[in-house]
């Protein structure tokens, strides 16, 4: 049921507040809600008294939107206050607890009733304070939980930060390691390529020319090479003190205003002329003594220490290449001298012109087993021979010399070319069972219109007639000399007229690995037939050169080359 109070004084307000609290408790409003209602109502009634006039407080039970019981409180302003624009004040208190409808409209004026109302308000306040303490305890608990959570978050952030720093350091270390590995690979690749470039030529002057081109750039700015064999007083006076120290001690010298601390390299005081410019003075070591000193300046401000160490190693390899090239050149000169000494001068009979050419292989020592020879026999005939001992080197050259000497000895007693080759076969097999040779022998006689020839495992002779027609004398030859087989090598005879030219040669002239030997023999026949009728009789040596040039211009020689031309002039 609805309850109404008129409020115009403080006493009316106090009685209305007490009555409202009692009714709210009677209808089942919880203590906390009753306390909130009393506090809000007291504050609003205080405002009403301040503004003056008579206010009406209405309280009646209602049903809320959710179907629950509630108590609605309405404070309506007086007519004067309402005319001034004041609006009613309304609030609703839920009453979930079961209650009862009070029978009185409000509190009596006796002190017991007022005391009971005051104590009831204190009970509600105590409940509120108890709930407040619970909330404070709950807040303290959550504050502690939050603090612990914050500490955990801070620790987690610290761990994440440490992990991030460790990851960045790991990435930096990986990038550094990858960069160092790439630089090391670059240096090793350069060192391997440069070593190949330096060891390919067998001419020490070519190696010296290539050294500066390899080092600058990117590893050197200026390159100065001081060779002791070209040394003179002026050159020694101009040499840098560090270069002199490197020559004297045989150790590389690093010249800079800071210590290099390079392995195997001595630190040297900087130059007075260029105190801030580093220099690297590296001796060129050999088995006996240094060849000279290489002085390098950096391409920029200074070298990377690993680059400087790589340059020292490259200089060492260059020195070895220079020393090996000099040794090779020295041995090659000795070999050429020996080879020329073993090849005798040709005779000059009136009826026969002779011209020979010998070219050593372009690789290796220029000494081998190819040889040519021509000599007179006691009956006036002339023996022309071209041979080839298998292999190269000093052993083949010595064996070639022995075969040539044995052939001359056998020819003194006469004998046909086939007979002479048969005796050489027996001689070689007994003297050197593991060494073999090929040879072709032709015999001319001023009183005989025929030429007799024989071959043992050798390319066939090529004969050019006076009319320019060329024949390849491909009659079946004997086997190689020295093989473990008894053989009698047959003679072959062919008519030759004045003006005819015979070409004897070794396989180095006509054989190519990619094409075989037959195309080369055909090219030789074509070259021999290309001369005019009088050219061979006038300049046989020039004709020999004219044959060699086209046949050898297409490739490097990997075998010795021997060519012997025999031009028949006439008969006495």
Q: Could you tell me the CATH number of the domain that includes residue 285?
A: 3.30.450.40
Q: Are residues 407 and 538 in the same domain?
A: yes
The answer to whether residue 96 sits within a structural domain is yes
Q: Are residues 379 and 419 in the same domain?
A: yes
Indicate whether 84 pLDDT > 70: no
Helix H, strand E, coil C: the string for 310-341 is: HHHHHHHHHHHHHHHHHHHHHHHHHHHHHHHH
The answer to whether residue 535 sits within a structural domain is yes
Per-residue confidence (pLDDT) for residue 234, from 0 to 100 = 45
Report pLDDT digits (tens) over 243-270. 888 888 888 988 888 777 788 888 888 7
Q: Are residues 16 and 87 in the same domain?
A: yes
Q: Are residues 428 and 297 in the same domain?
A: no
The answer to whether residue 74 sits within a structural domain is yes
**Strands 266-268, 501-505: parallel, antiparallel or unpaired by DSSP?**
unpaired
Q: How many domains does the chain have?
A: 3
Distances (CA, A) of 83 to 46, 76, 79, 415, 474: 20, 12, 6, 166, 149
pTM given for the model: 0.54
Residue 114 bridge partners (DSSP): none
Task: Give the integer Cα–Cα distance in Å for 270 and 255.
Answer: 5
Asked whether 469 and 481 are in contact (CB, 8 A), the reply is no
Of 295, 321, 337, which residue sits at a domain end?
337
Q: Which domain holds residue 359?
A: 343-568
Task: Give the integer Cα–Cα distance in Å for 208 and 404.
Answer: 42
Q: Are residues 479 and 391 in the same domain?
A: yes
Asked whether 286 and 172 are in contact (CB, 8 A), the reply is no
Q: Are residues 324 and 371 in the same domain?
A: no
Task: Give exposure, 147-185, as e/b (b: 16+ Cβ within 10 Å).
Answer: eeeeeeeeeeeeeeeeeeeeeeeeeeeeeeeeeeeeeee
pLDDT-based confidence at 127, cuts 50/70/90? confident
Q: Are residues 253 and 310 in the same domain?
A: yes
Q: Are residues 329 and 365 in the same domain?
A: no
Per-residue confidence (pLDDT) for residue 81, from 0 to 100 = 60
pLDDT-based confidence at 515, cuts 50/70/90? confident
Q: Are residues 403 and 330 in the same domain?
A: no
**Strands 253-255, 266-268: parallel, antiparallel or unpaired by DSSP?**
parallel
Indicate whether 528 pLDDT > 90: yes
The answer to whether residue 258 sits within a structural domain is yes
pLDDT-based confidence at 572, cuts 50/70/90? very low
Q: Are residues 292 and 363 in the same domain?
A: no
Indicate whether 470 pLDDT > 80: yes
Lowest mean pLDDT among 72-86, 413-427, 491-505: 72-86
Over residues 310-325, the mean pLDDT reads 87
Q: In 3D, which of 361, 322, 323, 317 has the Cα closest to residue 339?
A: 361
């Amino acid at each position: 049921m609805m309850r109404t109070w008129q409020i115009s004084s403080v006493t009316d307000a106090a009685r209305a507040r007490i009555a409202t609290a009692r009714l709210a408790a009677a209808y089942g409003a919880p203590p906390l809600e009753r306390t909130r209602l009393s506090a809000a109502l007291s504050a609003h009634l205080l405002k009403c008294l301040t503004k003056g006039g008579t206010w009406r407080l209405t309280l009646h039970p209602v049903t809320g939107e959710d179907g629950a019981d509630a108590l609605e409180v309405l404070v309506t302003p007086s007519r004067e206050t309402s005319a001034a624009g004041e609006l009613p004040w309304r609030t609703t208190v839920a009453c979930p607890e079961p209650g009862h409808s009070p029978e009185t409209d409000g509190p009596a004026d006796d002190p017991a009733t007022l005391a009971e109302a005051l104590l009831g308000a204190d009970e509600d306040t105590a409940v509120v304070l108890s709930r407040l303490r619970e909330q404070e305890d709950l807040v303290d608990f959550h504050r502690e939980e939050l603090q612990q959570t914050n500490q955990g978050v801070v620790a987690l952030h610290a761990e994440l930060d440490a992990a991030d720093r460790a990851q960045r350091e790991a990435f930096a270390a990986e990038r550094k390691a990858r960069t160092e590995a790439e630089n090391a690979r670059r240096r090793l690749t350069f060192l391997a390529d440069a070593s190949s470039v330096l060891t390919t030529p067998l001419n020490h002057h070519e190696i010296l020319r290539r050294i500066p081109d390899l080092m600058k750039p990117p590893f050197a700015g200026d390159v100065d090479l001081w060779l002791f064999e070209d040394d003179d007083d002026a050159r020694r006076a101009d040499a840098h003190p560090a270069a002199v120290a490197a020559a004297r001690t045989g150790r590389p010298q690093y010249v800079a205003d800071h210590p290099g601390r390079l392995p195997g390299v001595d630190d040297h005081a900087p130059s007075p002329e260029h105190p801030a410019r580093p220099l690297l003075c590296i001796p060129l070591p050999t088995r006996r003594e240094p060849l000279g000193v290489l002085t390098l300046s950096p391409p920029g401000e200074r070298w990377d220490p690993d680059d400087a160490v790589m340059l020292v190693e490259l200089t060492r390899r260059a020195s070895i290449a220079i020393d090996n090239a000099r040794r090779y050149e020295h041995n090659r000169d000795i070999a050429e001298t020996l080879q020329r000494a073993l090849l005798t001068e040709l005779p000059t009979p009136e009826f026969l012109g002779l011209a020979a050419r010998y070219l050593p292989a372009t690789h290796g020592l220029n000494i081998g087993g190819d040889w040519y020879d021509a000599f007179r026999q006691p009956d006036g005939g002339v023996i022309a021979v071209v041979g080839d001992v298998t292999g190269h080197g000093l052993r083949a050259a010595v064996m070639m010399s022995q075969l040539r000497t044995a052939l001359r000895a056998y020819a003194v007693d006469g004998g046909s070319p086939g007979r002479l080759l048969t005796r050489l076969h027996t001689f070689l097999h007994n003297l050197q069972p593991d060494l073999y040779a090929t040879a072709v022998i032709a015999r001319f006689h001023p009183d005989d219109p025929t030429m007799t020839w024989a071959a043992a495992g050798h390319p066939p002779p090529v004969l050019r007639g006076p009319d320019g027609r060329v024949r390849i004398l491909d009659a079946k030859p004997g086997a190689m000399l020295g093989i473990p087989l008894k053989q009698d090598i047959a003679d072959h005879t062919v008519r030759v007229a004045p003006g005819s030219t015979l070409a004897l040669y070794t396989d180095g002239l006509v054989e190519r690995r990619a094409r075989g030997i037959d195309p080369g023999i055909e090219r030789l026949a074509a070259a021999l037939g290309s001369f005019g009728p009088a050219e061979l009789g006038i300049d046989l040596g020039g004709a020999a050169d004219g044959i060699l040039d086209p046949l050898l211009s297409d490739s490097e020689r990997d075998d010795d080359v021997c060519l012997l031309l025999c031009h028949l002039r006439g008969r006495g």
